[in-house]
Structure 1
Amino acid sequence: MNEASPGLPVASVREVRRHARRLALRHRRELAVAVALHSLGAASGLAGPWLIGRLVEAVSAGVDDVGRVTALICVFVATQAVLTGLAMFVSARLGERVLARLREEFVDGVLALPLGTVEEAGTGDLVTRTTRDVDLLARAVRYAIPDTLISAVTIVLTLGGLVLLGPLLALPCLVAVPILWAATRWYLRRARDGYLRENASYSRLAEGLAETVDGARTVEALRLGGRRAARVDDDIAASSAAEHYTMRLRTVYLPTIDVAFVLPVVATLVVGGLLYLDGMASLAAVTAATLYTQQLLIPVDTLLFWLNEVQIGGAAMARLRGVGRSPAAASGESRGPRADAVVAGSAAVELRGVSHAYRAGHDVLHDVSLGIAPGERLAVVGPSGAGKSTLGKLIAGIHAPRAGTITVGGVPVGALSLEELRAEVALVTQEHHVFRASLRDNVLLGRPSASDAAVESALRAVDAWSWASSLGLSTAVGTGGVELSPAQAQQLALARLVLADPHTLILDEATSLLDPRAARHLERSLAAVLAGRTVIAIAHRLHTAHDADRIAVMEAGRIVELGSHDELVAAGGAYAALWASWHGTAQA
């Protein structure tokens, strides 16, 4: 419980840059318009210092041209304001489109995640990426990237104006370049890893808090409050240390560049004055160069300030893009045959030499081999911890076996995409979720195109129509709506399954929240509806096993018995002992 989960993958710098390039190419027209407007606005801003320089020179020569020059300056300032406003509007609209696209891709990646990946990584990591990282990326896309673009264009054009005034007058601006280059290089080499570590610390903190809240009763019953509080303290300390590291980076970097800003203006005044005294530069050129240099400070400051936010946003984007990376994709493994083979062939399920471990060196399944014929009803029974649920998750493709193969209709489960796999094999456990939507929409998750008549038929098949009809299909359920009981939520999940109609169903204690009599009636109703489908029922209630075609008895991760109810009772082995014990208890 205290071990750190490995977390979801994080995209590399190259992957983030490649994706950013694809986004730019996808919106090349809007980006070109934004750059053009920013360039025109920055060019308009160059006229003011040049005109002021001319005005200073004219006044010193005794020429009265103040009115005309002032009018021209006002015209260019107004033009710059209009162009800059349009550029910011276009940039903001482009940013929102890009952000919407990134959010859609992130949601698609989250929905495509195998459940085993989420379980292994921990929900805290996923929740932190869904909330904090999305917010950080949104800030970068909305503010940092547009302002960085504006500043970069302004800097390039202003430097161009300085060069046109005179190459010698442009040289003093370079005095700060070595300091800025060294400080920025030092910062960039450390910032990405620092912000990734900071975001990961938030994930671990959120995961620890979520575990404690979800398991509050267990924590209280086992008196684990002190250990959980210590875990939270450790997580807060780690998060604080990560934040202090990035703060130290900023406290070194930002003051350094602030000091470097003063040097170009001073150098331009000194060098420009010397050039003027030597007759190598006019007073107008020196004045304009000094104003251009002063004008450079704001975009350079903005660029370097938002560079920090771009690093934060880049780290957030790396974490969000990492969600869509499956282990197979990350390692470059082939997906193998297409799922069409399942449709073309039989729907038999085959396990050959399957072993699995949640931790290296600690197998919970050992060399399991099992064949399940199409349309067969198989019950899997055994004591708690025998590996029954793990077996069901492996067949459903939630986890990949450590060793051995699992095929459905002759096709390896690992070769099926998530969408294809869910159409072939469905798993229903005792853990259910009622979404905040109408009762109808909750059932339609199994088949969105189904009619109300099909929804009613599915609810009737799971003995839920009596209470569902009294509520009405349009009634809002879930958070903020009618709260369903655990038993009703379980029936709702089974109704989705009936509507989805996959050829292979895995029921892992799927009726455990119902009372025994209601569960027995429901299972008989389901058996009639699911006739012809392959059903793998994992159960502790042995009347489920009694009705099955075959029973697999598991102990310590192995199948120790396999046969029909009558055969296993007659054999007098592990199942016979379970049956005698349960049957006696049931009668009592």
Structure 2
Amino acid sequence: MSRLLPVASAAQARRYARDLIHQYPGLFRATISLHVAAALAGLAGPRLLGELVQGVHDRVPMSELDLLALAIGGFVLVQTMLIRFAHLASARLGERVLTRLREEFVGRVLALPLSTVEAAGSGDLLTRTTRDVDALSKCVRFAVPETLIALITLGLVVGALLLVSPIFAAPLLIGVPIMAVGTRWYLRHAPRGYLRQNAAYSDVTEGLTETVESARTVEALGRQRQRVDRTDVDLRRSWRAERYTLRLRTVWWPVIEISYVVPMVLTLLTGGWLYLHDLVTLGALTAAVIYVQQLVDPLDRLVGWLDELEVGAAALARLLGVTAGPPPAVTDVAEPVGNRIEVRDVRFAYAPGREVLHGVDLVLEPGERLAVVGVSGAGKSTLGRLLAGVHRPTSGSITVGGVPLGALPPDRLRAEVALVTQEHHVFIGTLRDNVAMVRPGAQEGEIRAALTAVQALAWVDELPDGLDTMVGSGGVPLTPAQAQQVALARLVIADPHTLVLDEATAMLDPRAARDLERSLAAVVSGRTVVAIAHRLFAAHDADRVAVMAAGRIVELGSHDELVAAGGAYAALWDSWQGGGGAMKKARPEGAPFP
């Protein structure tokens, strides 16, 4: 199972939320002021209604009763208008906060090292970018303002009830402890429950994603039952996690219901007894009963949205946990002097205690063509990914121009070294944007020159809208070879001085591979090239060959030197020549490296 990304602590989430709100102090104060004004306007109605009832009881003139009725209507109208503006202000504040949070989250995700993403798997990150973002969106848009309104209204209604008569606040002394104990119990258990629920859902997403992506392999190996069993296990775990949070709610909600039903009943009983003994007026009793009744709505809202707040808090903790801290600040990094790459005593382990590279030393001179060969599992691709900066060494160093490769920011790193594999992606958008995404300011002439270099301009000009044709999901489909040419055109725009090639054409049919190798030749011309050579014709054309075995470079030299030495490379070459004749013939005579 993949290792899940970390989760921020509750304190970190609260601090981040507080800092985020403080970025909009004016709008936040205006929102609070409008809600307070709306709540105050709502408090006038019960008091005036009590006076109206008392006036009817005392048989005051009808003109005074009419004025009281008009005043009640006026306050209702004012409250309605204030509520409208308060909700608009809340929505505006929520959208700005949510926009900032989403932008920062995207920045955090893009700043993640690729090795971290690969270790976590796609399911967890996919769940955080969809389910958790949606949950937080609902929380920011609705739960936060509704909870804020409920708290403000509760405080003001209790204050108004005390002004009517402190006696009427006595029943609250029974309901408040019930509510406090129940809520404290819920808040102690809910955060852990919702984090476990979201993590379990991540496992479900991860399993389903793996099954869909490897459907053909699953079918070919007859592992359908195993994948179904894996999904069943994940779903049971998710069901248990959701059942736990549901149990919390089924205990907490009835407790809250009791906590505000009991005060209402006691207020009616005690108020009636006090009125019968002439200790309170009918108007005061009416106002007090309405105020207690008014407590029900904000309490209902508080109960209903507090649960969403817990879900949102768990989602925020997971989103913040994508990186251990804030997005890395851009710091001054020493400028590389030259393009020389040095690998010194590099060791690497995907998991602690399980090294796959052991003390690798290598020097790449500018413009050199190096082929890395060896049997499967020797560590070739791992070394290539380290040279491209995808992974960082467990120990040792890799420098470019005297500067540690890992110290370079991602955009600068890709201007130095780029990894080219058979994996490629066409993003949703225009073909122009797909090519220029590595340097958005690239001019049309540069884009067309890059496409010309990889021999792609002819078919691009035949597209319905040329460079402005929509491609990617829902757009004009590109063949695998065309998609790879787009990826190579990006490299021409990025202009790195070193390329690490991990069988960029291995997954294409022979004819497409031959055409694409000619495109690739234009890209590698004049650059330092490291080719992870699974087919030895690349090694034959290289300046030097590095032979890897068990995570070490065991031989290093030119093709002719290594063949003459009669070592591991000579054995590989003899084996390839004897059993790979057909593959060798498939390569055009004099085809360019790699």
1:23 to 2:17 alignment: no
Corresponding residue SS for 1:340: coil
Distance 1:437 1:335, change over 3 A: closer
1:177 to 2:169 alignment: no
Distance 1:96 1:528, change over 3 A: closer
Q: Which residue of 2 aligns with 1:419?
A: 411
1:175 Cα deviation after fit: 1.7
Q: Which residue of 2 aligns with 1:210?
A: 209
1:30 Cα deviation after fit: 1.1
Q: How does 1:385-534 map to 2 (within 5 A)?
A: 385-471=377-463, 472-514=466-508, 519=513, 523=517, 526-527=520-521, 529-534=523-528
Q: How does 1:562-573 map to 2 (within 5 A)?
A: 562-573=556-567
> Matched residues in 1 for 2:85 and 2:458: separation?
61
> Matched residues in 2 for 1:529 and 1:429: separation?
14
Task: Note the residue ranges of structure 2 that are not aligned, 5 or more in a row.
Answer: 586-594
1:36 to 2:36 alignment: no
> Matched residues in 2 for 1:73 and 1:420: separation?
67
> Matched residues in 1 for 2:520 and 2:375: separation?
25
Q: How does 1:230-379 map to 2 (within 5 A)?
A: 230-276=229-275, 280-325=279-324, 338-342=332-336, 345-379=337-371
Q: Which residue of 2 aligns with 1:62?
A: 59
Corresponding residue SS for 1:352: strand
Is the 1:354–1:402 Cα contact (8 Å) retained in structure 2? yes
1:35 Cα deviation after fit: 1.1
Distance 1:542 1:460, change over 3 A: farther
Q: Could you tell me which of 45, 50, 54 is aligned with 1:53? A: 50
Is the 1:337–1:411 Cα contact (8 Å) retained in structure 2? no
Question: C-alpha offsets along residues 412-463 of structure 1, whole Å, 9 cap, x if unaligned?
Answer: 2232222232222211111111112222222112322222332232223223
Distance 1:524 1:220, change over 3 A: closer
Is the 2:330–2:409 Cα contact (8 Å) retained in structure 1? no
Corresponding residue SS for 1:323: coil
Number of residue pairs aligned between Structure 1 and Structure 2: 578
Is the 1:375–1:534 Cα contact (8 Å) retained in structure 2? yes
RMSD: 2.3
Is the 1:337–1:415 Cα contact (8 Å) retained in structure 2? no
Distance 1:518 1:258, change over 3 A: closer
Q: Could you tell me which of 8, 13, 23 is aligned with 1:11? A: 8
> Matched residues in 2 for 1:422 and 1:171: separation?
69
Is the 2:481–2:512 Cα contact (8 Å) retained in structure 1? no
Amino acid at match of 2:319: L
Amino acid at match of 2:355: D
Distance 1:337 1:24, change over 3 A: closer
1:516 Cα deviation after fit: 5.5
Normalised to the residue count of structure 1, the TM-score between the two structures is 0.93
> Matched residues in 2 for 1:470 and 1:545: separation?
37
> Matched residues in 2 for 1:204 and 1:337: separation?
37
Question: Identical aligned pairs, as a percentage?
Answer: 58
Question: C-alpha offsets along residues 309-354 of structure 1, whole Å, 9 cap, x if unaligned?
Answer: 011011111111222437xx79xxx999843332xx2332222222
> Matched residues in 2 for 1:52 and 1:317: separation?
44
Is the 1:336–1:415 Cα contact (8 Å) retained in structure 2? no
Normalised to the residue count of structure 2, the TM-score between the two structures is 0.92
Question: C-alpha offsets along residues 29-78 of structure 1, whole Å, 9 cap, x if unaligned?
Answer: 11111111111111111111111221222233232443221111111111
Amino acid at match of 2:60: V
> Matched residues in 2 for 1:558 and 1:278: separation?
97
1:18 Cα deviation after fit: 1.1
Amino acid at match of 2:539: A
